[in-house]
Structure 1
């Protein structure tokens, strides 16, 4: 039920509860040509956002616990905060959890972001290889939010969230947005649908959905996405097809294709083909390699980016973008 990624942690606690320290360091070298020549740079958070966090729980009895998560995003290449002036920019919520599900209150991942980061393509919507990430737009975090995460019943589960308007927006409407996600798991088959509608400045409506199926060493993903709004303005719809093959418990390779129709530009669209390789060097250290080619059509200006990486702007509308990336991801 808890969405935080770590393979090992330093925890303190006793029979009445625990507090766990966890983190992710993700650093990569990227070489990209956005239509004006190859440019090398070091990136932080291309695959999984670099972060430090605290997660804790205290049992109340009858299977119910008070839970919380505080999580800060930072740059692993210069040590700066991901969002200056916000110490817990990724998560800062308090909640209660039990067999009935979980309730969270505060800043947290949006329900549309949770499946987006692992259930819709072979690249985990990360690195320059994910056309799903490069060609779509969603809201990853929500402040002033109240969420309910259901337990899984007969393969079904759902997450519902509403966020109240921040007083700084000076808007009489007290609802800043709502989100909903539904999933179904049956053996190797996974189905999901997610929707969001935010209001106020930069309002964004978005939908995600898809299916994946695993058999033997192979897993295949088929996804669709659309959205309208945001800042800068996004209005597009498309889909992606990808597959991952596991050579062993520690080595995996993936291929993918994605397409988007760009409604902000007359006849605009873009296509991306990608490849990636991951190798678990240890229980907590992962090496990854990504390569991608993105073809913009007409005056579309999509580019290659990562989870917390701003892509290099294209040299001119319609310019093709190509790049390679090698990185290390350390969890604790």
Structure 2
């Protein structure tokens, strides 16, 4: 349940204009809790049953606020921290808010943001790529892709929507405490068109020295291993069309990671279908194929199934199933949204099933 805390300092201060402005400010506490169990087998005796956080959504809490300063302008901020719903421990105890920490200004011109932010590709485009929003072990895009999901020192601009069309741009300055050099270290642009049952989006990003997890200016998702001087370039495109209770999805991803211990250059193709059985149940089927462009034949494919049942607007139960087939030296694994899958021997298939419960407040 969201709590709105009005800042009514007008009762203390006698200045009427100040009272009017503060009375239109608000702060919202929000969050997501996702806990579950997963079973995964990656060949031979390599199997495990685990209690996991974040099988479908990353567990987190945050604060967001907006102040109406008049003339159609709003000052906005958002702070967000990830933690484990299994242990209560922060994902990175050294950081008070490791997911979001930005302030910005919005109005008829669109919106500007400054600070730690999600990249537009992660925040917006993934929702157009498959019915899971590229989440859970059932999503091939989640298991095959690398992506810079957020960046420190970000500067972004979101355009207004014109006849269903909008764009989002973001750059990030290099952080001398976590990398080398100065100037721009990351940029990302996304264009999206939504009109009735049709949703189309495409975007490109490039980042220097991305890092997995804590300690870097840019947080990298996927199976990539980035080293010093690494450069990641990614292009994503997705489209979906709804026909009654059914929606068909097509997605394409291509990436290139250079100057790293594991050089990657591949394309991912995915087709999905989601069907709303009734107002409370959604079933999604996803198939994805990754093509290795290095010439080494390290290809892979996955078939995934996701079932979601909504107990209410805030709570759902889910089951995610995935079968992943590696070829040659490919070693992709089945990962949840906020946990890593079992390490696999190159060329080994992987199977998994996860169940969980999500509550949003």
TM-score range, shorter chain: over 0.9
Q: How does 1:147-186 map to 2 (within 5 A)?
A: 147-169=156-178, 171-186=180-195
Counterpart secondary structure, 1:246: strand
Unmatched segments (≥5 aa) in structure 1: 1-7
CA distance in 2, matches of 1:321, 1:265: 23
Unmatched segments (≥5 aa) in structure 2: 8-22, 210-228
Q: Classify 1:170/1:25 alpha carbon distance in 2 versus 1 (closer, same or farther; 3 Å).
A: closer
Residue 235 of structure 1: CA displacement? 2.2
Structure 2 partner of 1:257: 287
CA distance in 1, matches of 2:81, 2:93: 11
Residue 173 of structure 1: CA displacement? 3.8
Structure 1 partner of 2:116: 107
Q: Does 1:48 align with 2:48?
A: no
Counterpart secondary structure, 2:120: coil
CA distance in 2, matches of 1:35, 1:140: 31
Structure 2 partner of 1:3: none
Q: Does 1:235 align with 2:265?
A: yes
Q: How does 1:113-262 map to 2 (within 5 A)?
A: 113-169=122-178, 171-200=180-209, 201-229=229-257, 233-262=263-292
Q: 1:82 aligns with which of 56, 75, 91?
A: 91
Q: Is the 8 A contact 1:265 1:299 kept in 2?
A: no
CA distance in 1, matches of 2:178, 2:132: 36
CA distance in 1, matches of 2:98, 2:178: 19
Q: Is the 8 A contact 1:222 1:241 kept in 2?
A: yes
RMSD across aligned positions (CA): 1.5
Residue 172 of structure 1: CA displacement? 3.2
Q: 2:303 aligns with which of 246, 253, 273?
A: 273
Structure 1 partner of 2:11: none
Residue 233 of structure 1: CA displacement? 4.4
Counterpart secondary structure, 2:141: helix
Residue 234 of structure 1: CA displacement? 3.2
Structure 1 partner of 2:4: 11
Q: 1:282 aligns with which of 298, 312, 335?
A: 312
Q: Is the 8 A contact 1:116 1:125 kept in 2?
A: no
TM-score relative to the length of structure 1:
0.94
Structure 2 partner of 1:322: 351
Larger Rg: 2
Counterpart secondary structure, 1:141: strand
Q: Does 1:33 align with 2:50?
A: no
Which stretch has the larger CA shift, 13-22 or 219-228? 13-22
Counterpart secondary structure, 2:330: coil
